């Protein structure tokens, strides 16, 4: 049973976007209201999230 759980968890992580990307997209769209910027910032993921917190904080 535990082997199956590990395989399923790996599938979810590799096939979906990560939490950092989703967070970066949400922050970027809220700040800029631009889908293009949201996609670009989603690509940079945690780097953009940290940049946003440092620059706005």
**Domain locations in the chain?**
19-57
pTM above 0.75, yes or no: no
Alpha carbons 9 and 32: distance in angstroms, whole number: 33
What's the whole-number mean pLDDT along residues 1-8? 55
Tokens linked to 45: 């993921």
What is the pLDDT at residue 17? 82
Tokens linked to 27: 């922050």
Residue-wise pLDDT tens digits, 20-56: 999 999 999 999 999 999 999 999 999 999 999 999 8
Q: Is the pLDDT of residue 13 over 80?
A: no
Place of tokens 């670009």: 40
Q: Is the pLDDT of residue 11 over 60?
A: no
């Amino acid at each position: 049973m535990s082997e199956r759980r590990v395989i399923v968890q790996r599938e979810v992580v590799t096939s979906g976007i990560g939490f950092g990307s989703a967070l970066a997209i949400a922050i970027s769209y809220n700040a800029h209201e631009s889908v293009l910027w949201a996609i670009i910032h989603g690509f940079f993921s945690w780097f953009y999230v940290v940049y946003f917190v440092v620059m706005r904080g």
